[in-house]
Each structure stands twice: as structure tokens, then as C-alpha cells.
A and B are shown apart, each in its own frame.
Chain A
């Protein structure tokens, strides 16, 4: 394909026109394939091992009745929740990082995940409160916690628009406060509840069933599609608020829709699997480096997130001597990556 403008060959089919970016398309295809393989590996692993090919065969409708039962009824929900949560976290991080133009601005660093966790821990430790005649379960409490935290950060950081750096500083402070609150609850709680809360707080895919899959799939599906549909102004928003407005973007509206979608995605993922640390932060940044674009592309970031979560779950179950919650593995990857990014940002600013 020849390009009139360097690096921007045109792709057109009827009313649809876009820039043909082979690297981005290839990255999406490869990431999707990696997610599928990791998914099959993870499903195949257990007391009755099934090969990747075997899992694929069962998925396609083949295999024995026993294999069908093991794959569909016993093991699939765990890995499927992993894929859904990874997709949601990746997309959520890509949105916040693009809007604030800062790689550090992801739901886990801004404290939104911590807010959702605190909400859930309140219910686990103190029992479910009843609001307006409705009993608040752990999922609803996590969702509410995430949304309230996001609203608080937004109000505190608001000064004639959302400025990235201010948002991050306030987010980090809110994150610490919520962390302290959660720790306090773990100290005062009954030991049995505390143990339950601790496992949940590490982010675990253990014991997920189809009843976990459906709400997460529907929620992430709907909000994810809304986010992708409103992604068009995102590339203009990356140039800063003034430039975006001058380019005809309704900045406040676009930012609000995208940020709410991002917060909902992050909170819903916490609801489904606990706070799986650093995925929302790392996935978009790895994707940027893989694809070579200026900002994190949404779909590829989601696929990267899915690969990270399912891959980490596999590592947590297979390679390590004892089975650990997936969140410990993702945090072990994310922590050093955060340090690397901060050091690199400092060097760039020092130049």
C-alpha cells in the first residue's frame, strides 16, 4: 500500500476509512493468539491434565464427556474471569493514561482499586449493611467504593480542568489513606473474616464459577464497547485540553464519559477477582512499547491485560512451588516496572 503521507497509508472500504497500521493489527492478532494459548494452558492444567490441543478440541465440541465436564464446568470459569478482568483492567488503564497524558495515572496507582477493596473489606469485616432496604453484598460494596473514591479524587484534583500531575499526587495520597483504612479493618476484625479478606485482597481467581463469569462478562462487555465507541476523541485529547478543544472536541463531555467508563471497568474487575495489582498500569505501557504508537491503543492494551492476568495465574499455579493468588505475581512484575518508569521519566526530565 502506498502512502501519500509518510507512515500513514490509507485503508478504505465504502464509508469506512482509516490509517492502515500493520504493526498494530499484527500486535492485536499476536496478542489474541497468546491469550488463547495461555487460556488453554491454564484450563488444561490440574489433577487431570489436558493438552492445549485437547482443550481446543473440547472448545470446538470434541473430546470425551469427562473432558467436556472438566473443561466447561470445572476449569473454564477461572480462566475466563482472568481474561475478562485482564481486558477490563487493560482498557481502563489505557483510558486514564491517555487522558492524563501520564503513564503513572492508572486506576491502581490513583487509588480507585484501593477504594473498591476498602468497600469490599468493610462488608467482609463488619457484615453487609442495608441501604434503603437493599442488602449490600461484597461486589456492590466494591463497585460503590471504587466510584466514591474516583469522585473524591476528581473533586479534590479539579481546578479549571483535570491536570495530570495534580491528579496523580492526590490519587497517591488517597491510595495511602485507603490502604491505612483497610489495614485498620484487618487489625480490628475477627480472625476468620480477616483471613477471608486477606485472600480476597491479594486478587485471586481461585474458586471462580460461572456465576462470577456472567456479571463480569456483561459489565466489561457493555462498558468496554462504550469506551471503544467513544475512543475517537482520545487521540486529540492526548495533545492537551486546549488543543483538543480547538480541534472541536467537547473536552469535558468526552473526558467524563471516558473516565466514568474507566472507573466502572476497574471497579467491576475488582468486584470479580479482587484487586489484581498493577495490570491496569503495566498493560498499556507494555503495549505502547510493542506497537510503537504515541499513546496506548485501547483494544491491544486490553488483550495485553488479559495475557498478563491469565499468564500470571498460570505462573502462580504451575511454576511456583506453592499455589499463590494471581495478584502476587502481577505485583511482582508491576513493582519493578513502576521503578523503571519513574527512573526513566526522571532521566528524561533531567535532560
Chain B
């Protein structure tokens, strides 16, 4: 698989007259997992859509190997970039196998709708995502985590060097979020795919990314490896969040502990672990 270079140069993105991203310039490191983070409405999903060519820039360009992506043929782009939109929906009754097979669309034609290559790639994609046993089931009958794996499997069957994922963990419980991100990491580590995703959970973003792009108000604030980028000061500036940043004992990446205005333990008093909350709860129920 060839390595492709994605660059955004002076990107200006807008919905109608409302400018969401302005003068954005950044580079996506090839062969790595990049995550775009930022507060709600900062333009991170919009930026991802522009990379996927789902949104035409008002100014500037997304460059794929130095070539403007808007000047390329839709089909050629689809052989290099795979995109999983936010919470996609499959038509009722569509089986997992049929969904994953749709990933072969950019490699197919009216005459060549199901070649040996298609068959083999779909089989591989189903195996990698652990969806083989569920291949005959309708997508709408699966659980949230399984459904997301089916869609990732489809993007995988597309055989693209770059995979763009817009909030792949939305609506999933923590265990399934980790499962999906483990899968994403496997695709990157085993198959060498370049991954660009948007995530809301900062701790998961810090753990699963090689490179973070931090956005605020449609601009890139900073970017780099999680350990270099994430600290209490950045979180205060960008998210308006007071926090303590520790080292995650599992991954040795930054671990963010948010500090709100309430429910913080008195730093002076010595409180046995876990007791404080429980006592308060008992008092509340006695009232």
C-alpha cells in the first residue's frame, strides 16, 4: 500500500454564509493515527468532511500528494480515501455482507459487480473486524458496537490507504468505544493505514492517537504527539476546562482529570477513599 500525503492549505469552509473554518493549514502525518479534537462547534467534523471531499472549500485546498483534491475524479479519490460519516444508517433489511460489499463500489462497474478480488477483499474485511459470523444478519438488527464494526468493515473493503472516521464511537458504551478504537488501532498497526478521526473523549483520543490536531473557532491551535500537546493550560485555553493532567498508568499517555466547581474533595482533610461520596448520598436520601 502506497503512502499518501494529505495537506490542508489556507482552508476556508462555510455552510452558506456561515464560515466554520478559516485559513486552516496543517499536515496529516502519513501512516499514523491522527485525531482532531476541540470543543463543540469548532469545525472539526467540517474539516474532516473537507478532507473527504464531501464539502468544497470556499478558499484554499486540501492537497492529496500535492494535488488539489477537488480537481481529482470522484472515483480516484474514493480509491485513496475511505470515509465513515457520523452515525450512518443502512436501509432496512440490508445484510452485513451486502453492506461491506458496497465498499467495493469504487473498484466495480456495471459489468463487473462481484469479481474474485471483490469477494476476497470483503472476506478479509469481515474477518479483520470479526463480523464473519454475523455476515448474513441485517445491519438494523445488530447492537450499536456490531453495527459500527460492520460500517468500518465496509470502509476497509474499499481498500484505501487513508481512512477517515467521523466520531466512530458516538452512542457506544465505554467498553464498545474501546473495542472500536482497538480495531482502528489494529488497522493502523497491522495494515499501515493512515487514520484520521474526530473524537469527543479526550482521554481516548490521547491514548489511541499518534498525532493530535487541536482546533478552536475554526482554527488549529496546536498539533503534535499527545504527550507534547495535552496539558492543563491547553485544556483551560481551548475547552475552558480546569483539569489535572496525569500519566495514564496503562498507556503512559496523558490522562485528563477534569476539575469542576463542585464535588471536589477538600485537599486539607484526610478522607478515606470512596467514603466521602457515599456518606453524602446517605444524607441526601435520609432527608
Interface-facing stretch out of A15-23, A47-55, A56-64: A15-23
B81 A292 Cβ-Cβ under 8 A: no
Kindly state the separation between the CA atoms of A76 and B79 in the bound complex, as whole angstroms.
52
B93:A247 contact, CB within 8 angstroms: no
Q: Name which of A5, A12, A15, A18 has the most chain B CB atoms within 10 A of its CB.
A: A5
Interface-facing stretch out of A31-39, A87-95, A186-194, A232-240? A232-240
Interface contact A17-B114, CB-CB below 8 Å: yes
B119 touches A5 (CB 8 A): yes
Q: Bound state CA distance, A295 and B82, in angstroms?
A: 24
Given A5-B122, A232-B110, A248-B77, verify A242-B83 contact (CB < 8 Å).
yes
A294 at the A/B interface (Cβ < 8 Å)? yes
* B23-58 contact mask (Cβ, 8 Å, vs A): 1 or 0: 000000000000000000000000001001110000
Q: Do the beta carbons of B85 and A246 come within 8 Å of each other? A: yes
A7 at the interface (CB under 8 A from B): yes
When C-beta atoms are compared, the residue in chain A nearest to B90 turns out to be A239
User: Which residues of chain A are within 8 angstroms of B145 by Cβ–Cβ distance?
Assistant: none
Q: Does A346 contact B (CB under 8 A)?
A: no
Contact A246 B126 (CB under 8 A): no
Interface residues of B in 52-107 (CB under 8 A from A): 52-54, 74-79, 81-85, 88-95, 97-103, 105-106
Indicate whether A7 sits within 8 Å of B95 (C-beta atoms), given known contacts A17-B112, A19-B114, A246-B81: yes
Question: Given that A4-B120, A232-B113 are contacting pairs, would A247 and B106 also be in contact in the complex, using a CB cutoff of 8 Å?
Answer: yes
In the assembled complex, B111 has its CB within 8 A of some CB on chain A: yes
Which residues of the partner chain B approach A19 to less than 8 Å between Cβ atoms? 101, 113-114
Q: Which residue of A lies closest to B106 (CB)?
A: A248
B225 in contact (CB, < 8 A): no
* Residues A293 and B93 in contact in the complex (CB < 8 Å), given A5-B135, A8-B98, A247-B105: yes
Known contacts A5-B126, A17-B114; A236 and B105 CB within 8 A of each other: yes
- Interface status of A249 (Cβ within 8 A of chain B): yes
Q: Is B123 in the interface zone, CB < 8 Å from A?
A: yes
B158 at the interface (CB under 8 A from A): yes
Q: Are B88 and A239 in contact (CB under 8 A)?
A: yes
Q: What A residues does B75 contact at CB under 8 A?
A: 248
Given A243-B88, A248-B106, answer yes or no on A15-B112 (Cβ-Cβ < 8 Å).
yes
Total number of A residues with any Cβ neighbor in B under 8 Å:
37
> How far in angstroms is the closest Cβ of chain A from B154?
8
Contact between A10 and B106 (Cβ–Cβ < 8 Å)?
no
Contacts of A229 in B (CB 8 A): 110
Contacts of B109 in A (CB 8 A): 232
Q: Which residues A129-177 have CB closer than 8 A to chain B?
A: 160
B residues in contact with A239, CB < 8 Å:
88, 90-91, 99, 102
Instruction: Compute how far the CA of A11 lies from the CA of B94 in the bound complex, rounded to whole angstroms.
Output: 20
B136 to A238, Cβ gap below 8 A?
no
Cβ contacts under 8 Å, A295 to chain B: 91
Q: Does A250 contact B (CB under 8 A)?
A: yes
Residues of B within 8 A of A293 (CB): 93
Give, as a whole number of angstroms, the nearest-CB distance from B77 to chain A.
7
Q: Does A245 contact B (CB under 8 A)?
A: yes
B263: interface (CB < 8 Å):
no
Partner of B85, one of A15, A235, A240: A240
List chain B residues, Cβ under 8 A from A160: 15
Tell me if B119 and A247 are in contact (CB < 8 A).
Answer: no
B97 and A11 form a contact (CB under 8 A): no
B287 in the interface (beta carbon within 8 A): no
Among A7, A17, A249, A348, point to the contact of B113 (Cβ < 8 A): A17
Contact A5 B88 (CB under 8 A): no
Closest B-chain residue to A241, C-beta based? B54
Which A-chain residue is minimally distant from B118 (CB atoms)?
Answer: A17
Instruction: Report yes or no: B102 in contact with A245, Cβ–Cβ below 8 A.
Output: no
Q: Considering the chains assembled together, what is the distance between the CA atoms of A8 and B132 in angstroms?
A: 13
Among residues of B, the one whose C-beta sits closest to the C-beta of A19 is B114
**In the complex, which residue of chain A has the Cβ closest to the Cβ of B92?**
A294
Give the distance to chain A from B286, nearest Cβ to Cβ, in Å. 40
Q: Tell me if B116 is interfacial: C-beta within 8 Å of chain A.
A: yes
For residue A211, CB closer than 8 A to chain B, the reply is no
Q: CB-nearest residue of chain A relative to B53?
A: A245
A250 to B135, CA, bound (A): 28
Shortest CB-to-CB span from A246 to chain B, Å, is: 4
* Alpha-carbon distance between A7 and B105 when the two chains are bound, in angstroms: 18
Is B115 among interface residues, defined by CB-CB distance under 8 A? yes
Q: Which 7 A-B pairs have CB atoms at the shortest separation, nearest pair first? A: A248-B78, A248-B106, A294-B94, A6-B135, A246-B83, A248-B75, A242-B85
Write 15 A-B pairs (CB below 8 A) sorted by A numbering. A5-B126, A6-B97, A7-B135, A12-B116, A15-B111, A15-B112, A19-B113, A232-B110, A239-B91, A243-B85, A245-B74, A246-B52, A246-B78, A246-B85, A247-B158
List 11 additional contacts besides A242-B54, A294-B98; criterion CB under 8 Å: A5-B119, A6-B136, A7-B97, A11-B114, A15-B111, A15-B112, A17-B111, A17-B112, A19-B101, A246-B82, A246-B85
